[in-house]
């Protein structure tokens, strides 16, 4: 056994995150670690990676007991990890970030050329072509995800831990990652893989360990022969929630948000589209195609350098996210939940209520705790946020539960236009169905939704129409009849056609 955890317990204030958990990782296997949001997956990964210490329990690598006081110790013992939260150094170059733990040197000095050569080669294997000399802060969340993966791969680990590596990357990048993981498995590397995308699990994993409420619900069961329903039942203790797809009428006559010939500082050229009232318009493109940057420019978080934006038919100059909300009733669920979606250090209640303060304040301008709670509680209950109380600091929530809070506050806000970037990245399977229901519901009530998702099946399920973005341009558009295979083929053909012409 390459890695063995036995009887591991871990508590945080008010939460028992792991209760008597066991986990066994063999060499040359890809082992899935599954569970609902807050089940304890990241806590387990962090313990193995030396980021936090268990309260009790035994850990062995190759039969020898280990105790890591820091990630450095873990790396020295051959353990590399991609954590769920991105941790790149914003002002260092992409290349330096990737090779940080093993900077190549020549005559005692860092060999900068070699840093970038090595980093570039790793990224190309993962299908990402970017300038490795650029600063890490210029990357989108999806690109950062790939850079983090490259960084972990560069360490030639014997044990590789991946906490939701595919949450916001598209099928193409995921395929490239899986090809590499299969090679590593062939070389005897032991891989732990956390994901909420069950399709990924069935494609890549050999065995599965499931956590439910911090306890083992399965320990190393083989995936072969296991059904989706059985897996879901181990995770949630019941059946999968399937969102009903209802037919919706969109008001083609009324345009809520329109862009004409937009150019942006991040590089968009001649972007034009119209979002109708009550419509869900998907925006699909490969990682690096400029989807998120377009969303950010639309809400004033990125610079528009040419062209025009219209809201409800009137020319709009949106200066930032609060202006978007106050003057134009536009909400924005950012893919960067940690830095843009949440006010860190504040409670769940405050984070959700913030978008409705003006409405709550009333004549006296006072907002009581009770007023806030009445708005917040129904939404967090519906989204199944697992937390001891609404007063809990959002920073202590699990990744998926943080994502739920960043969605909840916009659902509370009663906006007319909602721009959502990766709404279900990192969200567990049943809550994902619920978020889909909610988005469909608000569109039915007349809200216009611009949906960005790297999960094409999600886009096809939800969207009425899909815009195809490639290299910062809109290269096509297709009506979605919600038939996945057909729509997927149309979109991919378009993207590859353009690539072939270039």
Ligand X SMILES: Nc1ncnc2c1ncn2[C@@H]1O[C@H](COP(=O)(O)OP(=O)(O)OP(=O)(O)O)[C@@H](O)[C@H]1O
Among 23, 31, 40, 284, binds ligand X (CB under 6 A): 40
Alpha carbon distance 98, 149 (integer Å): 9
CB of 160 within 8 A of CB of 31?
no
Task: In angstroms, give the least distance from the CB of 358 to ligand X.
Answer: 30
Stretch that binds ligand X, among 37-45, 413-421, 429-437, 464-472 (CB under 6 A): 37-45
Q: Which stretch binds Mg ion (CB under 5 A): 16-24, 60-68, 82-90, 450-458?
A: 82-90
Say whether residue 456 binds ligand X (CB under 6 A): no
**What is d(CA 498, CA 484) in angstroms, rounded to the nearest whole number?**
21
338-344 contacts at long range (C-beta below 8 A, 24 or more positions apart): 338/85, 338/402, 340/301, 341/402, 341/403, 341/405, 341/406, 342/394, 342/402, 342/405, 342/406, 343/394, 344/394, 344/395
- In the complex, which residue's CB is closest to ligand X? 400
Instruction: Tell which positions 381-400 bind ligand X, by CB under 6 A.
Output: 386, 396-400
CA distance 92 to 98: 10
17 binds, among Mg ion, ligand X, none (CB under 5 to 8 A by kind): ligand X
State the minimum distance, in angstroms, from the CB of residue 369 to ligand X: 22
- Contact between 54 and ligand X by CB under 6 A: the answer reads no
Q: Which partner from the list ligand X, Mg ion, none does 170 bind, CB cut-off 5 to 8 Å by kind?
A: none
Cβ neighbours for 434, distance < 8 A, ≥ 6 positions apart:
241, 243, 382, 383, 384
Closer to ligand X by Cβ: residue 40 or 476:
40
Q: Does 262 bind ligand X (CB under 6 A)?
A: no
CB of 18 to ligand X, least distance (A): 8
Q: Which of residues 67-106 bind ligand X (CB under 6 A)?
A: 84
- CA-based radius of gyration for the chain: 23
Binding partner selected for residue 80 from ligand X, Mg ion, none, CB under the kind-specific 5 to 8 Å limit: none
What mask of x and - would describe binding to Mg ion in positions 9 to 48, judged by CB under 5 A? --------------------------------xx------
435 belongs to the binding site for ligand X (CB under 6 A)? no
Q: Is 233 in the site for ligand X (CB under 6 A)?
A: no
By CB under 5 A, residue 399 contacts Mg ion: yes
Q: Is 401 in the site for ligand X (CB under 6 A)?
A: yes
Q: What span, in angstroms and rounded, lies between the C-alpha atoms of 453 and 168?
A: 8
Residues 332-391 within binding reach of Mg ion (CB under 5 A)? none
Considering only residues 164-223, where is the footprint of Mg ion by CB under 5 A? none
SS3 content of the chain, % helix, strand, coil (to 5): 40, 25, 35
Q: How far is the CB of 282 from ligand X (least distance, A)?
A: 25
Residues 189 and 158 sit within 8 Å (Cβ to Cβ):
yes
Identify the H or E element spanning 450: strand 448-452
Nearer to Mg ion, 41 or 268 (CB): 41
Q: Report CA-CA distances (Å) from 369 to 191, 285, 374, 375.
A: 46, 43, 9, 10
Which residue spans within 164-247 are E strands per DSSP?
A: 190-194, 207-212, 215-222
43 binds ligand X per the rule CB under 6 A:
yes
Q: Which does 264 bind (CB under 5 to 8 A by kind): ligand X, Mg ion, none?
A: none
Tokens of 126: 């993962």
- Give the residue, chosen from 42, 127, 154, 334, that forms a contact with ligand X under the rule CB under 6 A: 42
| Cβ nearer to Mg ion, comparing 170 with 398 | 398
Q: Does 423 bind ligand X (CB under 6 A)?
A: no
Looking at beta carbons only, is 92 or 396 nearer to ligand X? 396
Nearest to 274, CA basis, from 324, 312, 323: 312
Q: Which long-range contacts (CB under 8 A, 24 or more apart) does 249-252 make?
A: 249/278, 250/276, 250/277, 250/278, 250/279, 250/443, 250/464, 251/276, 251/277, 251/278, 251/279, 251/446, 252/276
Interface contacts to ligand X, rule CB under 6 A? 12-13, 15, 17, 35, 37-43, 84, 386, 396-401, 426, 428
């Amino acid at each position: 056994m390459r890695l063995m955890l036995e009887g591991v317990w871990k508590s945080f204030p008010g939460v028992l995150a792991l209760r008597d958990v066991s986990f066994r990782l063999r060499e040359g296997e890809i082992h899935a670690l599954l569970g609902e949001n807050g089940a304890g997956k990241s806590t387990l990964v962090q313990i193995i990676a030396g980021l936090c210490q268990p309260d009790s329990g035994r850990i062995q690598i190759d039969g020898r007991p280990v105790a890591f006081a820091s990630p450095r110790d873990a790396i020295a013992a051959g353990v590399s990890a991609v954590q769920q939260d991105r941790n790149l150094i914003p002002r260092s170059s992409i290349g330096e970030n990737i090779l940080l733990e093993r900077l190549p040197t020549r005559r005692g000095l860092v060999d900068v050329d070699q840093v970038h050569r090595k980093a570039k080669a790793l990224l190309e294997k993962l299908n990402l072509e970017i300038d490795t000399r650029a600063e890490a802060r210029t990357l989108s969340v999806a690109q950062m995800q790939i850079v983090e993966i490259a960084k972990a791969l560069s360490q030639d680990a014997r044990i590789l831990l991946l906490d939701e590596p595919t949450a916001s990357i598209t099928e193409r990048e995921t395929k490239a990652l899986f090809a590499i993981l299969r090679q590593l498995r062939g070389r005897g590397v032991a891989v732990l893989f956390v994901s909420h995308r069950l399709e990924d699990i069935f494609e890549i994993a050999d065995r599965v360990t499931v956590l439910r409420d911090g306890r083992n619900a399965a320990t190393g069961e083989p995936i072969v022969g296991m059904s989706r329903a059985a897996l879901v039942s181990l995770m949630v203790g019941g059946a999968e929630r399937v969102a009903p797809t209802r037919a919706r009428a969109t008001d083609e006559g009324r345009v809520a948000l329109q862009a004409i010939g937009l150019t942006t500082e991040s590089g968009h050229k001649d972007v034009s589209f119209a979002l109708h009232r009550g419509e869900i318009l998907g925006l699909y493109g490969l990682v690096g195609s400029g989807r998120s940057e377009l969303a950010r420019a639309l809400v004033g978080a990125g610079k528009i350098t040419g062209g025009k934006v219209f809201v409800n038919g009137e020319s709009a100059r949106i200066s930032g996210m609060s202006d978007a909300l106050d003057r134009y009733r536009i909400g924005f669920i950012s893919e960067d939940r940690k830095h843009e979606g949440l006010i860190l250090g504040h409670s769940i209640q405050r984070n959700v209520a913030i978008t409705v303060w003006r409405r709550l304040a009333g004549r006296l301008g006072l907002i009581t705790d009770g007023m806030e709670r009445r708005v917040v509680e129904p939404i967090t209950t519906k989204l199944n946020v697992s937390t001891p109380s609404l007063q809990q600091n959002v920073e202590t929530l699990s990744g998926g539960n943080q994502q739920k809070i960043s969605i909840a506050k916009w659902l509370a806000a009663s906006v007319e236009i909602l721009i959502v970037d990766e709404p279900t990245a990192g969200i567990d399977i049943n809550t994902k169905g619920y978020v889909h229901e909610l988005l469909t519901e608000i569109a039915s009530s007349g809200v216009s939704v611009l949906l960005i998702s790297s999960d094409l099946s999600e886009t096809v399920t939800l969207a009425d129409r899909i815009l195809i973005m490639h290299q910062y341009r809109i290269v096509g558009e297709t009506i979605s009849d919600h038939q996945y295979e057909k729509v997927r083929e149309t979109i991919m053909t378009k993207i590859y056609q353009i690539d072939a012409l270039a």
